[in-house]
Chain A
């Protein structure tokens, strides 16, 4: 019998990891009476990774989370899904109720800028001149709740782009320094992908024989329709010739575990992580092709930060206070260390009633995302000795192009995006213009036109079709759709920034972020090129180009006589940039504040550049990399406390 038992434990290791966590939501009284080693602001991927890693090393951690936390149960999660089903606008934040106590930006609130005055009616105050519709989420799990979970690494070349191509900033580290942490991040996010197709860097980007934890998400039928006619197309970019090839993107969602990954996982097959739940749920399986990764994956096949958070809660050392908004960071005037965080907590999202409290700890970690970290610091009067707090705001502007293919391509099936074009992500042309990556959107034109609802409305209301003709027209108009989302590189510029102003506060009195952003020439060149390249692609495919950009669009920008409607990429970064010394940066290479020795600002805000990579995998790698430094600080802080007690 004993023999069987051991075997069982082994067998158990192959089990899909069912996220049964202990309920560790605490009340404020309990939290205030406890001594925590570290307080983390934000339960997104950055905060959750730090919480999990520190608690695994034996430290006690408290997370302050501005948003509600009901989604740690299956039924809470299902409420999000139903909210999404019943919402007329299925935008990225559609699954979440509006919460004036911890508001979040929603694309449906964005309006065209009237000359001379900022847009102030929704949470983000927008100064322009470029108006972006970027969003993020303020709920437990943060923005990963609705992110798409594309997980490309940055390229080795991206880390010293200033030296190499004369644009942007160099990182205070090399790609190589981050490589082991990229692997950790790929494990944590459960990446499916094909390393052998990631060949657009000229340098060694992966260890020999490295594979991702799971096999690539198979390319959609739409991808295949495009690839068969497009592969091999030659494109001239600033004098360089690039040959296009449709390749899959790595992505954090459950697929088929790769046998060859055992080598990188102590001889074991990768265990996909299932749904987060208090009760046994038997969910969170392989990706089923719900085509809804943004805004919400109904079966939790997609990675979201609650999976990391649940592991952190499970091992016992982490408490979480949801509905608790960090409101001010308090600095000890003598030591310049953070002495406390003042928070405002509310019971009910429908009421402004709240209480204010103060939390102390040895170490403080802000993980509220690039906009909110900067907002919180600035609201606390902490502009940084370099005055770089909130500056260098970056995002990936998207230029969408769309066309109808000559054949039925089965659009609207698969994950939101399985493949795209990565050949223009790197090259000497980056001396002249921005790099970009192109997604083939399996969900069709939706992002650009509101399809398929708009198609239905057009066919019924304008084309006067019903019955058979209506059905045929729906197939014609929807199943042939091809949307290319061109995600263009944007470099850091100090004048692009987040600020605060006591004039603009939310319902709890916390200052709202003010965005000032323009699109640099370098980026606009990339955008114009991407638009032109799409024309060539459509010409090659014999596809009808339907892209139009209205001057009435809030994201409308003119460049060299042509107009473009530009969309926010939600890859916000740069606002507490890392660097080599306090004069050129806010944090060091471990994301530690130069000014306040017990404070870390983590997340994409630390990134000096973002290349043409979606930011989350890189920020996760950075968070893993920062843990050792945090642990050292905690040890020192404890030792010095000890001595001061002995004195």
Chain B
């Protein structure tokens, strides 16, 4: 499946439906990109231990999968093609996510304090509105940094050559929302939402505790979906809860860092709920950001790690089929997650070699598979 790719390495504000498609492709990619790190940390926990932590991460993963599906619905709504199979769709870990002044790496690592810090970075709330930099029309949450690395969300280039980045994922979605509104006003709703409605993933085929799937047929639905994604991630109106009263991802992870649950009515950074039991040692000593080449030639571990990547590639292919007009396929595709968990556990319980303390882990090197 070949996606219409925008040539430039840089973003520019959404002017056309094609621009919007490019943003949405990036959104799908971004939602997916957080899943392997979350899964890796989650499965590195010895089963049966660290239940609080496991459940907290799990909630976030389930919601990220919902976001991915919503982004695909958005893409289908405007006549685009959600594609999870293209080259580079799965980043090579560690990868970089935008975060204001400092780059941070998102990698595949075991559950640890460092990993939780990274997760907090991924889910960081947007800048308060009054601290936005610059004054121009498109400076919503953009910060000015020098960056050279390949980024998941491409940078803007300002008139005077500065590289501008979204401060947080929320701001990126805000740009998409603004773009949709602008296009709808300029072109008329029926000329933006031209997709085949039968491709929408509807609630029969997707339901989980992670929130509702919203089929998207018009601007109203689209903005509702964007709001859901943003608020589950970063809370409602700068608060720590979303409009449903659920904690946003950032504060969920912060509970792990602070060792304490938030309670209704709490202020940010000051949870007052019960303690979280954390055992940092009940974790498989997996190698961080592993590569197939790290595993001994001819070992079962290596074969299994390659099998994992093939399985994961198939999984993404199946998802893509489901998201392109065969919504009933989604149920069995999601069922594949069960194998992903089992295969991860097996890798993580096998030492890399006799003289290596670390155990294996999925490498998620999908592009390497021919």
Contacts and interface: CB of A to CB of B under 8 A. Distances in A.
Interface stretch (A14-22, A178-186, A421-429): A14-22
Contact of A269 (B204, B224, B335): B204
A474 interface: no
A259 B63 contact: no
B331 A18 contact: no
A281 B59 contact: yes
A15 B51 contact: no
Contacts of A256: 204-205, 331
Interface residues of B, number: 32
A334 interface: no
B265 interface: no
B208 A16 contact: yes
Interface stretch (B189-197, B209-217, B342-350): B209-217
Interface stretch (A3-11, A100-108, A375-383, A548-556): A3-11
A530 to B, nearest CB: 36
A524 interface: no
B224 A18 contact: no
Contacts of B55: 74, 281
B59 A280 contact: yes
Contact of B212 (A14, A258, A275): A14
A292 to B, nearest CB: 15
B113 interface: no
Nearest to A16: B207
Contacts of A3: 220
Given A257-B203, A280-B246, A4 B220 contact: yes
Interface in B210-230: 210-214, 220-221, 223-224, 227-228
A272 B335 CA distance: 18
Contacts of B319: none
B220 A7 contact: yes
Interface string A128-166: 000000000000000000000000000000000000000
Interface in B67-125: none
A75 B261 CA distance: 15
B212 A281 contact: no
Nearest to A19: B209
A75 B276 CA distance: 13
A28 interface: no
Contact of A282 (B48, B51, B204, B209): B209
Contacts of B228: 8, 11
B224 A7 contact: yes
Given A8-B224, A15-B211, A16-B212, A286 B59 contact: no
B62 interface: yes
B243 interface: yes
A12 B209 contact: no
B58 interface: yes
Contacts of B261: 279
A269 B209 CA distance: 17
A67 interface: no
B247 interface: yes
Interface in B245-286: 246-247, 261
A197 to B, nearest CB: 20
Contacts of A284: 209
B331 A282 contact: no
A258 B205 CA distance: 11
Given A8-B227, A281-B55, A282-B59, A269 B203 contact: yes
Contacts of A16: 207-209, 212
A160 B310 CA distance: 62
A44 interface: no
Nearest to B220: A7
Interface centre among A258, A275, A283 (most CB of B within 10 A): A283
Contacts of B209: 16, 18, 274-275, 280-285
Nearest to A78: B51
A269 B215 CA distance: 13
B58 A282 contact: yes
A285 B227 contact: no
A75 B52 CA distance: 9
Nearest to B218: A7
Nearest to A20: B245
Interface string A533-558: 00000000000000000000000000
B286 to A, nearest CB: 25
A589 B261 CA distance: 50
Nearest to B224: A7
Nearest to A283: B209
A403 B247 CA distance: 53
Contacts of B203: 14, 257, 269
Contact of A4 (B48, B204, B223): B223
Given A74-B55, A280-B247, A12 B212 contact: yes
Contact of B204 (A257, A279, A288): A257
A17 to B, nearest CB: 10
A96 B81 CA distance: 51
Given A259-B204, A286-B331, A4 B224 contact: yes
Nearest to A18: B209
Interface in A470-499: none
Contacts of B246: 280
Interface string A270-312: 0010110001111111101000000000000000000000000
A285 B59 CA distance: 13
Contact of A11 (B51, B205, B212, B338): B212
Interface in B309-359: 331, 335, 338
A286 B332 CA distance: 12
A272 B224 contact: no
A288 B246 CA distance: 26
B63 A11 contact: no
A282 B224 contact: no
B224 to A, nearest CB: 5
Contacts of B331: 256, 286
B295 to A, nearest CB: 27
With most chain B CB atoms within 10 A of its CB, the pick from A11, A75, A269, A288 is: A11
Contacts of A275: 209
Contacts of B205: 256
B264 to A, nearest CB: 11
A469 to B, nearest CB: 23
Contact of B210 (A257, A272, A282): A282
Contacts of A18: 209
A7 B221 contact: yes
Interface in B12-71: 48, 51, 55, 58-59, 62-63
A50 B194 CA distance: 49
Interface in A241-285: 256-259, 269, 272, 274-275, 279-285
Nearest to B231: A8
A15 B63 contact: no
A4 B224 CA distance: 6
- Residue among B59, B208, B244 facing the most chain A CB atoms (10 A cut-off): B208
A463 B244 CA distance: 60
A282 B208 contact: yes
Contacts of A259: 204
Contacts of A274: 209
B207 A272 contact: yes
A134 to B, nearest CB: 33
B63 A282 contact: yes
A15 B204 contact: no
A274 B207 CA distance: 10
Contacts of B48: 82
B243 A8 contact: yes
A7 B217 CA distance: 12
11 contacts: A7-B221, A8-B227, A8-B243, A14-B213, A15-B211, A257-B207, A269-B203, A280-B209, A280-B246, A282-B62, A285-B207
Nearest 9 pairs of A and B residues by beta carbon: A282-B209, A15-B212, A16-B207, A282-B62, A14-B203, A282-B59, A7-B224, A257-B204, A274-B209
Given A82-B48, A256-B205, 10 more contacts: A8-B224, A11-B214, A15-B207, A16-B209, A257-B203, A269-B204, A280-B59, A280-B246, A282-B62, A284-B209
